Amino acid sequence: MNKDTIKGTAKKVEGSFERTYGKVANDQSAVLKGDAKKAAGEAQKAMGKAKDAVDRETKDEY
């Protein structure tokens, strides 16, 4: 697990909280910001997983 995986997971959770707050407070801006943070977190987490896979493959070759 690398930094991107951890940071992506944290960003995804933060986005979920912000989205939930927006729904409770009836704040559409917060809902949209939360959705954006959640999507960015998912992308960063996926990038981290891809980096991990590359690291595993390159370590196996050497």
Residue 8, classed as helix, strand or coil, is: helix
Cα–Cα distance list, 47 to 32, 38, 54 (Å): 23, 14, 11
The whole-model pTM stands at 0.84
What pLDDT shows up at residue 59?
Answer: 84
Look at the chain and report how many structural domains it folds into: 1
Tokens at residue 30, please? 């917060």
- For residues 3-18, average pLDDT: 96
- The size of the chain, in residues, is 62
- Grade residue 57 by pLDDT with cuts at 50, 70 and 90: confident
* pLDDT tens figures, 40-56: 999 999 999 999 999 88
Range of the structural domain that residue 22 is part of = 3-61
Look at residue 62 and tell me whether its pLDDT is greater than 70: no
Residue 26 Ramachandran class (φ > 0 left, ψ -120 to 50 alpha, else beta): left
